[in-house]
Structure 1
Amino acid sequence: MSVRRWLRVLGEVTRPTVPVPDAGCPLLDWAESGAMALTGHGNGPPVLSPGSMWPLLRETGAALTWLSGRTGRPVHTDPALLLTGRAGARNLTRQGRTSAGGATRLLHASDGWCALTLSRPEDLELVPAILGRAEVTDPWQALTTAVSGTRAREFAAHVRQFGLPVAALPPEPPAVDAPWRVTRIAPPEPALRLDGALVVDLSSLWAGPLCAQLLGRAGARIVKVESTRRPDGARSGSRSFYDWLHAGHESVAVDFTTAEGRAALAELVRAADVVIEASRPRALAQLGSAPEELRHRAGKVWVSITGYGRRHPDRVAFGDDAAVAGGLVGWSDGEPVFCADAVGDPLTGVVAALGVMGAVAVGGGMLIDVAMRDVAGAFAGAGAVEHGPHPVSEGAVECAALGRTVPIRPPRVPAPTGRAPTMGADTARVLAETPVNQDPRTRPAPR
């Protein structure tokens, strides 16, 4: 698995190799990252798997730094902070087959395992219908019992009919040549750059906003757009984590149920150099802003983040169940446990940003279809790490080959550079100055 191979899907944008400094042992890096502390049973030691993903994550970060320097300001990332920042902000801990965030569980089927996310009260209320019962006293216990006599894929297919995020753990990670599919939507623009570019972020929660944050650090102007009737659910979570993702961005809020709101959305989408969205395709189509229905000027980059890609528009996913779908889990005594905290989200955010930067480097004009399942599969299939035995004891990991022992560190705590704007704080000003027909070279400097 190689980042260079991913980027070839966009165009020849890399040197023969992207330099990655040698850090010694990836499994020691995994132990020090905070992600290992989140992987394993709560009443047992953390586990080394899937530390083999670490070299690919470092290569991704190195490529991102190089590409951002070509198209804007160079962005240097801390992979450990990207993976564990939410857990650090919320003081989350490992819970084995219950996700660190608590909404997703690994259930043992007759032939394997599946992951199901029930994040809202109304999701739990669907359990009786899923099981064909009038009522259920303990939803999770009832599901655990029911799935034990069913094949994992059959159970997942049944639950998927109710619109819930569910995934069977594959026997092997899916083969992934690249974590995105690319469609040409406009001719390239050779002078395209990220510094000064207008990025309209229609996404929410974690993956899309992290992509936007990285593009903002490269010099882009980020305008976050929310529905007044359905704001980003992350606003009700950890304030420090939300600030870390959104400080320095601008906030627009409009009512998508009104003609005026839909017109404002369409105007912003037309003006954007880059659009980030994480919606089901039909949702944007209903708003009149689906990428396939719009005329795009040269260089436009549109990144669509979904659970399984735009080819599977009705399959939803969150970070933990998407990781399971891609085979990205830890292993404890031969059984799976969740990897880190909703690891599909931060990995997808980084990969989406890399895709945008690669597209910008070759002139854009692309729709980049990023599937969280495929991102997880790429990292799960990154390859084995060979550095000799690695005993885990007393909160530390030893690498016998290197003669080094490192502590298993807790998750990183993000340090926001400022406060995120209140929802809609910039609506009037941004809509008044939206440069629909303005030359990108004369646009206001990023804020």
Structure 2
Amino acid sequence: MTVPRRSSPQVDRVRDWAESGVVALTGPPDGSPVVPPGRAASYARELSDWIGAATAGTAHPVRVDGARLLSERAAYTGGTRGGSISVGRHCRLLPTADGWAAVSCARPDDAGLLGALVGRDVGDDPWPAVASWLREHSGAELAQGADMLGIAGGPVVRRAPAPAPIEGRPRPVEGLVVVDFSALWAGPLCSHLLGAAGARVIKVETPNRPDGARFGNRGFYDLLHSGHESVVLDPDTDSGRRAMAGLVAAADIVVEASRPRALERFGLDARTACAAGTTWVSITARGRDSPAVGFGDDVAASSGLVAADEAGCPMFVGDAIADPLTGLTAAVRAMSAPPAGPGHLWEISMSEVVATTLVDIDSPSPRVRRRGDSWVVDVESGEVEIAPPHRRTGSFAPAPASGRDTGRVLRELGVPA
């Protein structure tokens, strides 16, 4: 099945952006919203169109608007545009000696890692020291240090556009067992869509590293994990590693967003699982062979998806936009029949997903203007109002407490505890 792109991409690009909620999140905090470059909102709608067509006529049709999913987290958190500071306020765009860079400080250990990068104690506020260091160092030096230290960040480099049609023969996922090792947004969105299509989703966490999104907005976490089961296993014990291996053996689909060595330390190997017939969805920042780590904001910006202010300086596009784009892409791949029979490794690089949207990126963006209490933008067919971030309607049961279903799931799947 191939979902064709809509006709008149430029008109659709602007309208899709305007309706997505992303424009409202893009631009200076004290100025007008900005229509981003590229066609990420249109691409997201094509992905959700594919999912809708693939599940039409089943017991669990999935009807979502991919463009609106791009801003959905901000609808829960109340996040607002910050220009060179991300909507979530954990990532910044800063000048380097030879350009610009996106750097995140989101995890508890990140300030210490940034201190190691700049060579001094940065205290609780690393940004002054990081900004000073970047002004004297190149983007390549940042990239080298980030890879070595595990810092989420990199130079802003426009990637060559890599448009690809959304194609593949859909397969039903109703009743399939999905074991989800991922966290935050991209992987859980993929599993959420698989669950909406009728799959059984089992979320796996470890005692020392629960999903950090549990400590964020509860409504958004419930949305992505409603109806799933929660298992907690300790990979530092023999029994925990055996149980993890048993869950993977019982899974039809595995979703994970770790560098390969992280799961290999638990005794799990994607290619071995695929050889046994499992579909393995591997989400990484920049590919399985790259040491890079990354989050939605820094990956999107460093891959070239940035807007520009009046002085030409880069600004963030939306809220961690690489995450929902990747989650939608991962769901399409997981719902696609493996090209060579049972068992397949879908390698999904967040930076490559972003690159698929960087089409017509040099086309001038139309100016957004005020109309009464609203912002509007002109398209060929008329005037379109800039939509705010939007929550889906409907009720969603609370997500399960961490580890609530561990014993029962292991018993039902015949996995030794």
Same fold (TM over 0.5): yes
CA contact (8 A) 1:306 1:371 kept: yes
Matched, 1:327 2:304: yes
1:417 alignment partner AA:
F
- Which residue in 1 is equivalent to 2:205? 226
Contact preservation (8 Å) 2:29, 2:81: yes
Partner of 2:344: 366
Cα drift, residue 400 of structure 1? 5.5
Matched, 1:166 2:153: yes
Distance in 2 of aligned mates of 1:255 and 1:95: 39
Aligned counterpart in structure 2 of residue 378 of structure 1, from 350, 356, 359: 356
After superposition, where does 1:435-446 map in structure 2 within 5 Å?
none
1:114 equivalenced with 2:114 (yes/no): no
How high is the TM-score relative to the length of structure 1?
Answer: 0.84
Give the CA deviation at 1:392. Answer: 2.4
Over residues 358-390 of structure 1, what are the superposed CA-to-partner deviations in whole Å (9 max), with x where a residue is unaligned?
Answer: 23587442100111111111112366779x955
Aligned partner letter, 2:283: I
Unaligned runs of 5+ in 1: 1-13, 181-189, 437-447
- Counterpart of 1:307, as a letter, is A
State the match for 1:208 in structure 2.
187
User: Which of 285, 288, 312 in structure 2 is aligned with 1:307?
Assistant: 285
Q: Does 1:146 align with 2:146?
A: no
Structure 1 counterpart SS, 2:232: strand
Residues 380, 195 of structure 1: CA spacing in aligned structure 2 closer, same or farther, 3 A cutoff?
A: same
Q: How many residues align?
A: 409
Look up the SS of the partner of 1:229 in the other structure: coil
Please say if 1:29 is aligned against 2:5: no
Shift, 1:232, TM fit? 0.8
Aligned-pair identity in percent equals: 41
Superposition TM-score, scaled by structure 2 size: 0.89
Q: 2:243 aligns with which of 264, 287, 302?
A: 264
Shift of 1:72: 7.2
Q: Identify the match of residue 417 of structure 1 among 365, 388, 396.
A: 396
The superposition leaves residues 70-106 of structure 1 with CA deviations (integer Å, 9 ceiling, x where unpaired) of: 8874322122431111111111001111111111110
Over 3 Å counting, the alpha-carbon distance change for 1:348 and 1:72 in structure 2 is farther
- In the TM superposition, what whole-angstrom CA distance separates every residue of 1:284-329 from its partner, at most 9, and x where no partner exists? 111111113447434x2100011111121x2101000110122111
User: Which residue of the partner structure matches residue 268 of structure 2?
Assistant: 289
2:231 is aligned to 252
Out of 29, 37, 48, the residue aligned to residue 42 of structure 1 is: 29
Residue 315 of structure 1 aligns to a residue whose secondary structure is: coil
Give the equivalent residue in structure 1 for 2:412. 433
Return the alpha-carbon distance in structure 2 between the equivalents of residues 101 and 241 of structure 1: 14
From 342, 351, 357, give the equivalent of 2:329. Answer: 351
Change (3 A) 1:391 1:239: closer
**Greater mean alpha carbon deviation, residues 149-158 or residues 195-204:** 149-158
Secondary structure in 2 aligned to 1:359?
coil
Provide the rounded CA distance (Å) in 2 between the counterparts of 1:127 and 1:229: 23
2:322 matched to 1:336? no
Q: What's 1:318 paired with?
A: 295
* Deviation at residue 279 of structure 1 after TM alignment: 1.3
Q: Distance in 1 between matches of 2:353 and 2:142?
A: 23
- Residue 55 of structure 2 corresponds to 68
Deviates more, 1:155-164 or 1:354-363: 354-363
Determine the structure 1 residue equivalent to 2:369: 392
> 2-side partners of 1:244 and 1:385: how far apart?
36
- Letter in structure 1 aligned against 2:36: S
Cα separation, 2, equivalents of 1:389 and 1:127: 38
The offset of 1:123, in angstroms, is 1.3
Structure 2 residue aligned with 1:127: 114
1:295–1:366 CA distance, 2 compared to 1 (3 A)? closer
* Aligned-residue offset at 1:108: 0.7
**Which residue of 44, 69, 76 maps to 1:57?**
44
Contact 1:52 1:384 in 2 (8 A): no
For the aligned residue pairs, the C-alpha RMSD in angstroms reads 2.8
Unaligned segments of structure 2, at least 5 residues: none
Q: Does structure 2 retain, via aligned residues, the 8 Å contact 1:167–1:321?
A: yes
